[in-house]
Amino acid sequence: MNIACLKELTKEPKIAYFSMEIGIRNDIPTYSGGLGVLAGDTIRTGADLKLPMVAVTLISKKGYFRQELDENGSQREHPVSWEPSKHMTLLPAKIAVQIEDRQVIVQAWQYNVESLTRGCVPIFFLDTDVEENTAEDREITSYLYGGDMAYRLKQEIVLGIGGVRMLHELEFEIKKYHMNEGHSGLLTIELLNRFKRPIEDVWDEKLVWDVERVKDLCVFTTHTPVEAGHDKFPYDLACKILGELIPLKVLQELGGKDGLNMTRLGLNLSEFINGVAKKHTEVSRNMFPGYEISAITNGVHTYTWTCDSFKNLYDRYLPGWANEPELFVRVGRIPDEEIWNAHTEAKKALLNYVRKNTGVRMDPDILTIGFARRATAYKRADLIFSNIKRLERIGLGKLQIVFAGKAHPKDEQGKKLIEKIFSIKELLKSKIKMAYINDYDMDIALKMISGVDVWLNTPMRPREASGTSGMKAAHNGVVNFSVLDGWWIEGHIEGFTGWSIGPNPTETLLIDNMDSKDANDLYCKLEKTIIPLFYNDRHGWIRMMQNAIGKNAYYFNSHRMMRRYVTDAYIR
Ligand SMILES: *Cc1c(COP(=O)(O)O)cnc(C)c1O
């Protein structure tokens, strides 16, 4: 690859998509979860639709981490070793950013995401591991979400400021900068500096900063419905690390008075701002009054998140589906037994994997529930264990459950959650079979979301900004059973596309939890509706699978999402 290819790519002005993490393929471990996988899906779709796009992220040379679970479910973390040169090309270009009082040199690796449509989106993975840098600075791009606040800020300097400089160095002309979450917020400051008006031309010092011009160029997507989740750095730390990038009082005006808040930068310097589901947008408007925030509900990349047996099926009945997911509207043409056979094949593949990975032998004829996501308190993986006796009575001989998910190394509660699941798994093992798959990643996600019968999601509301794994499940005819939060508020039609858990959402603030209400509803529906339908009315069950595809996958795909970004955010 190819300077020639790069030349070709720089001919046309681009949309630059910035994300701290990107999950582009399983063996490039530069992602931790939903945010990174969404970024990967966005880029893949950009390539499918031949959008003029480039992406910027960090190389994360030691990955997020590899999860090892012992027999009690206690988690140990290991760095992931991988070799960027096996997948991508190191570019000769280098740029510098100032960190503390040093110039830190940044290089970039290019990876081209190529679509069968012949579209191509290059990703530039920024890397500080170069000889010119001190040993400590060489580690800035090693660990995704590792280290302390100072480490994170240095990473964000490399991503935001370094990213803009690198694109410039590579001679790209950029017509929009899209910040996927606040981590890349500093790119706005780099742009402000770039478009500074000469002092002698303006009568008010404030007018030196061409905020409107930067706003015109920037798009900001927020993903975090909880105040504490937004990156915020105390100004003494920020000033020490950033130096005098722009005058402190200007920075404070744009980034917040009580700390440099990356979300505030994104909000204050972007013409277009959006949340990732309608509900999440409402919550964001409440959290940040005074900003105009639009809603573009997430979607997943249809081809990536469809398992082989369903790919075959769709190829035969809905040719062209992968680049035109709207064709799922015609899912009713696929005969019931073909859907069931494709599903059974995926289920057997998952159960085989479960046996190899965990030693647990599961039965393909038993209703199988899947739950996999970051192990953290608000996701409430243990809600289904609120009343173990009741679960045992309902599920004896009729239920099996597959879990997976990593806890962030510093999330002690999340780690305890995994241990709790392990102990209940042991307790119930002769009655309800359960397995916890180690080291959740994109490959395991595909096996799980296609191989179970029901995809369970029980977050505390309204903390699930969108959630995307349920959309993946729907692409494979797997039915969602979920708390009404995030995307499911939009995708759910009771008893038709899936089932809800707990009351209708009305809150826009974090309220007292409703664990017991939610758990009760979960048990009731499992016992009275879901289990009987699965065992006694196969036809009715397959109808729901079809609806999941025809109504949910039809809409919650990243082709629809990207067309929205183009018309609402990129071209305006
Ligand atoms: C899709 C995906 C996620 C996000 O799942 P949510 O349901 O949004 O929490 C996380 N991790 C991996 C590996 C995924 O593929």
Atom of ligand 1 nearest to the CA of 457: 7
Atom 8 in ligand 1: residue holding the nearest Cα: 467
Q: pLDDT grade, residue 508 (50/70/90)?
A: low
pLDDT tens digits for 547-567?
999 999 999 999 999 999 999
Q: Please choose from 469, 472, 487, 558 the residue to mutate so as to test ligand 1's pocket, defined by most ligand atoms within 8 A of CB.
A: 469
- Which residues are CB-contacts of 20 (< 8 A; sequence separation ≥ 6)? 35, 36, 57, 58, 144, 145, 155, 156, 159, 180, 181, 183, 184
pLDDT digits (tens, 9 = 90+) for 412-454: 999 999 999 999 999 999 999 999 999 999 999 999 999 999 9
The answer as to CATH 3.40.50.2000 being correct for domain 3-270 is yes
Q: How far apart are CA 81 and CA 61, in angstroms?
A: 7
Q: Give this prediction's pTM.
A: 0.97
CA of 468 to the centre of ligand 1 (A): 6
The residues with which 435 forms a beta bridge, in sequence order, are 402
Question: Which stretch of DSSP H or E encloses residue 8?
Answer: helix 3-9
H or E element: which one contains 34? helix 34-48
How far apart are the CA of 212 and the centre of ligand 1, in A?
A: 36
Give residue 97 CA to ligand 1 midpoint distance, Å.
33
Q: Which residues pair with 90 in a beta bridge?
A: 109
Helix (H/G/I), strand (E/B), else coil: 437: strand
Nearest CA owner, ligand 1 atom 7: 469
Q: Helices 235-242 and 248-255 meet at what angle, rounded to 10?
A: 120
Quick one: CA torsion of 5, 10, 15, 18, rounded to 10 degrees? Answer: 60
CA angle 371, 374, 380 (to 5 degrees): 60
325-351: per-residue pLDDT in tens? 999 999 999 999 999 999 999 999 999
Q: Which DSSP letter does residue 50 get? A: T
Same topology for domains 3-270 and 310-560, yes or no? Answer: yes
Query: How far apart are the C-alpha atoms of 260 and 239, rounded to whole Å?
Result: 10
Query: Which tokens go with 521?
Result: 């509803």
- pLDDT tens, position by position, 529-551: 999 999 999 999 999 999 999 99
Preceding omega of 462 cis (within 30 degrees of 0): yes
Q: What is the length of the chain? A: 572
Spatial distance between the Cα atoms of 127 and 240, rounded to a whole number of angstroms:
22
**Other beta carbons within 10 Å of 451:** 28
Q: Give the phi and the psi of residue 173 in degrees, each rounded to 5.
A: -100, 125
Per-residue pLDDT at 2: 57
Please give the CATH architecture assigned to the domain spanning 310-560: 3-Layer(aba) Sandwich (3.40)
pLDDT in tens, 200-255: 777 777 789 999 999 999 999 999 988 888 999 999 999 999 998 999 999 999 99
3-class secondary structure, 177: strand
What is the average pLDDT across 104-116?
98
Residue nearest (by alpha carbon) to ligand 1 atom 11: 33
Biggest CA–CA distance in the chain, Å, is: 80
State the pLDDT confidence band at 284, using cuts at 50, 70 and 90.
Answer: very high
pLDDT at 512 over 60: no
What is the number of the ligand 1 atom nearest to the C-alpha of 373? 9
Tell me how far the alpha carbon of residue 87 lies from the centroid of ligand 1, in angstroms: 23
The atom number, within ligand 1, closest to the CA of 440 reads: 13
Paired strand residues for 273: 220
pLDDT over 70 at 1, yes or no: no
| Cα-to-centroid distance, 37 and ligand 1 (Å) | 7
For residue 436, the model assigns a pLDDT of 98
Relative to the CA of 469, which ligand 1 atom is closest?
7
What are the structural domain ranges in the chain?
Answer: 3-270, 310-560
DSSP string, 504-563: PP--SS-----HHHHHHHHHHHIIIIIHHHHHH-HHHHHHHHHHIIIIIIHHSBHHHHHH
Q: Flag whether pLDDT at 510 surpasses 80.
A: no
473 CA from centroid of ligand 1 (Å): 11
Answer yes or no: is pLDDT of 511 > 60: no
Nearest CA to ligand 1 atom 15: 442
Distances (CA, A) of 326 to 267, 479, 491: 33, 19, 15
Q: Are 98 and 28 in contact (CB under 8 A)?
A: no
Q: Are 192 and 210 in contact (CB under 8 A)?
A: yes
CA–centroid distance, 62 to ligand 1, in Å, is: 20
Q: Which two tokens stand for residue 283?
A: 């919550």
Q: Which residue from 51, 48, 18, 53 is spatially nearest to 36, judged by alpha carbons?
A: 18
pLDDT in tens, 43-62: 999 999 999 999 999 999 99
Residue bearing the CA closest to ligand 1, atom 12? 33
What is the CA(378)–ligand 1 centre distance, in A?
15
Q: What is the mean pLDDT of residues 384-391?
A: 97
Q: Which residue has the least CA distance to atom 1 on ligand 1?
A: 469
Please say if the pLDDT value at position 187 is more than 90: yes
The number of CA neighbours under 13 Å toward the Cβ of 56 is 35
Mean pLDDT of 37-44: 98
Q: Identify the residues whose C-beta falls under 6 Å from ligand 1.
A: 33-34, 37, 373, 440-442, 445, 467-469, 472
55, β-bridge pairs: 17, 123
Phi (first) and psi of residue 361, to 5 degrees? -95, 120
Query: Ligand 1: which atom is nearest the Cα of residue 466?
Result: 8
Residue with the nearest Cα to atom 5 of ligand 1?
469
> How much distance in Å is there from the Cα of 441 to the middle of ligand 1?
8
